Structure 1
Amino acid sequence: MGQLLSHPLTEKTIDYNDYQHRVSPQLSTLVPRFYNCVGSMQGYRLTQEDAHLVLNEESIMQVKFYNPFKETTQKLILSVFAVFDGHGGEDCSNFISGGGSNPKNGLAKWISYSFENHKYGAWKGDGPVNNSNGQRKFRTLQGLISQVIKDAFLLQDNELYKYFFNSSCGSTAIVTIIINGEYMYVANCGDSRCILSSKGNGVKTMSFDHKPQHIGELIRINDNGGTVSLGRVGGVLALSRAFGDFQFKRGVTYSYAKNKPKFHNVTHNGNTPAQESQVTAEPDVVMHKIDYKKDEFLILACDGIWDVYSNKQLCKFVKFHLTAGVKLDGIVTKMLDHGIAQANSSTGVGFDNMTVIIIALNKSGESLSDWYTKMKIRLEREKGLI
């Protein structure tokens, strides 16, 4: 393994967003700020097909959102963290992430658009769920926001079709949106994953992998004329939800208005709704209200990381090093080094691209140093060291 570890493809890119260079002391109280660290490594793949997105602090997203339950328009502040695991090339994942030059393009653009332009209503126990104008009504605000996020994913896939309809590239997505520093929505499309670490060795699964052999996925694939062999859609694709991969989205009609700057949503006058294609971009969405007394940090990562670590193992890995006083950038570096060291040519484990984001769930106004101290004392108490 010594020769492999010295290979240039194992070089890591670490973005440690500690925001220590910011000069505005009021920013952390006016705008939610979550310290984070992003680490990525190409590994032994020929190309790096992962991409990521961080909209936080100065790049945070602010949207105007109509709340039909209160019948008012509110300003929402969205912190967005995402990992995109491409396949068949890097084009799809880079496009969705905004390409680096403008991070508020790509999926971020459609998240903003969906929050500001939704036409959903509130169902308050009177009348049908869908009114005469076809407006869909929701019983809860959480359900409405979850649908808004799903709309953003389908709009992004619709835009991708214009550029990649004749390409075999695609990408998974694991996206965390924290609204006003209070509510967390995790949207998953594919087999990347998100977990939440809480006080007392708690590990909450915030997403569920979309694999073709899972019964709900298998039924949808079969209903659209597809097959699953060797755990792959059509014997090719090892996941059942993704952006792109239009060869597996038969009968879905995509539309683009030439005279308008925005794309229409997927139309349903084709044979197949976009949500029912063999491989769909519709995500599952899990909501969680943040409890700053208990919740500690989030981990988002592509399947290259989860091939090596289980949910509990990765959480323990981070906590072990926090107890030892290691900072987030050091933890991410060790995580990637350990992952590549597990490379096994028989199983393929450890040979994939690896990308991970650790997000500290610090309270408003809490410095990174305070968060480290709090975590170290808490973990030492849990281990009986103090």
Structure 2
Amino acid sequence: MGQLLSHPLTEKYLEYNDYKHVSQDQTSNITSADGNLVPHFYNCVGSMQGYRLTQEDAHLVLNEDKAIHVKFYDPFKNKMEQLKLSIFSLFDGHGGADCSNFLSGGHQHSAKKGIARWIAYSFERHQYGAYLDNDSDSLRPPNSKRAFRTLQGLITQVIKDAFMLQDQELYQHFANSSCGSTAVVAIIINNEFLYVANCGDSRCILSSKNLGIKTMSYDHKPQHIGELLRINDNGGTVSLGRVGGVLALSRAFSDFQFKRGVNYGKNKGHHQNAGIPPQEAQVTAEPDVLMHKIDFTKDEFLVLGCDGIWDIYSNKQLVQFIKYHLTLGVNLPGIITKLLDHGIAQANSNTGVGFDNMTAILVVLNNGGESLQDWYTKMKVRLERERGLQ
């Protein structure tokens, strides 16, 4: 009997990060009951080209041994702090894979290239201050260019700065190209605070105990009223749900044909109407940023996916799909594989659903000292109780 080979359409790239190779001095220094070191945030990435002629998705995972460590000035405490940034991000390119690959830092997933470089740069070199109290407009330090009343607001602006700096760098490479990319970036600071920055229609959701699902991003579509107003104010139009009848997104990196009036510093002379803030362009790279303090007693996992995933699954359906297979004892690579296979099986030539590239990242929110096997066991018991099976 001959061997059954996988169909080319369903060939998948899987990256399973269980961190068994990480040495003791590279982890979070959290030990389990038996004294072994246990990493945070096990994860698995799955990607499928599907019916598309090319694969335009890219991703970036920087965690544990690859996590970014930055020196961050906290104006509320008036001191420097060391922050650990675990980054999980997904980039859905269009017009080619050049832009999405650039954002991911290339195949080496480098922290010194792409969006990771600018995130670290913005955290370390921000010039923001804090209001000393509610009755004072004094800034700390005195030369701060802007003040914030909360640390969360300051960090949100720092992340937005990173996106705008990245877009400025992209202009140097793709000013005359029609390529672009969405981005959804989940940043976990010191294993405690989750910030999700989204630009485009890739998405991130958080699954919690008792069927809880928290939307950590919002899709940026041209027909949404806030997006439509910005596009029209900048002289653009929306037809057939697309900017200029072409682009089905209202926010993205690159796509500089929709950013003609933006001032890119030394390159501003290339534009006839230099000086438009990048946030006001028809298509902007400015992200929405949402923050969540992780509660390891309730929060279970994160899912990041490109729009090809969300064409198939609703937020609720995807979480139910993952939890169902956790109940059956399927591991992370198995779940991601089934998720992608089920997605392409739904391909419909009439609607176009299921014909896009598909990429998903599943991130485990395991507590300090909780091994991956411990998390599997906890989830299986919890889900069986929720289903009334115990």
Q: Which residue of 2 aligns with 1:347?
A: 351
Matched, 1:249 2:253: no
Aligned match of 1:118 in 105, 126, 130? 126
Q: Which residue of 2 aligns with 1:18?
A: 18
Aligned-pair CA distance for 1:32: 5.9
Distance 1:26 1:42 in 2: 33
Distance 1:52 1:295 in 2: 23
Residue type at the aligned position of 2:10: T
Report matched runs for 1:195-234 at 5 Å: 195-234=205-244
Moved >3 Å (runs of 4+): 128-134
Distance 1:49 1:26 in 2: 32
TM-score (ref. length: structure 1): 0.93
Distance 1:29 1:365 in 2: 9
The alignment partner of 2:350 has SS state of coil
Aligned-pair CA distance for 1:6: 5.4
Aligned match of 1:300 in 298, 304, 320? 304
Aligned match of 2:361 in 349, 357, 361? 357
Distance 1:131 1:181 in 2: 28
2:186·2:197 contact (CA, 8 Å) conserved in 1? yes
> Against the structure 1 CA distance between its residues 95 and 143, is the aligned structure 2 distance closer, same or farther, given a 3 Å change threshold?
same
Distance 1:144 1:246 in 2: 28
> Against the structure 1 CA distance between its residues 225 and 294, is the aligned structure 2 distance closer, same or farther, given a 3 Å change threshold?
same
1:80·1:175 contact (CA, 8 Å) conserved in 2? yes
RMSD, matched Cα: 2.1
> Against the structure 1 CA distance between its residues 34 and 227, is the aligned structure 2 distance closer, same or farther, given a 3 Å change threshold?
same
TM-score (ref. length: structure 2): 0.92
Residue type at the aligned position of 2:201: D
The Cα offsets for residues 328-365 of structure 1, whole Å up to 9 and x where unpaired, read as: 10000000000000000111000000000000000122
Matched, 1:165 2:175: yes
Aligned match of 1:285 in 289, 311, 321? 289
The alignment partner of 1:325 has SS state of coil
Question: Matched residue pairs, number?
Answer: 373
- Which consecutive unaligned segments of at least 5 residues does structure 1 have? 258-263
Aligned match of 2:65 in 45, 51, 58? 58
Aligned match of 1:70 in 73, 77, 89? 77
Distance 2:138 2:230 in 1: 28
Aligned match of 2:99 in 63, 74, 92? 92
2:75·2:141 contact (CA, 8 Å) conserved in 1? no
Distance 1:83 1:132 in 2: 38
The alignment partner of 1:251 has SS state of coil
The alignment partner of 1:29 has SS state of coil
> Against the structure 1 CA distance between its residues 40 and 102, is the aligned structure 2 distance closer, same or farther, given a 3 Å change threshold?
closer
The alignment partner of 1:157 has SS state of helix
Distance 1:129 1:21 in 2: 46
Residue type at the aligned position of 1:70: K
1:32·1:181 contact (CA, 8 Å) conserved in 2? no
> Against the structure 1 CA distance between its residues 218 and 118, is the aligned structure 2 distance closer, same or farther, given a 3 Å change threshold?
same
- Which consecutive unaligned segments of at least 5 residues does structure 2 have? 31-37
Distance 1:303 1:349 in 2: 10
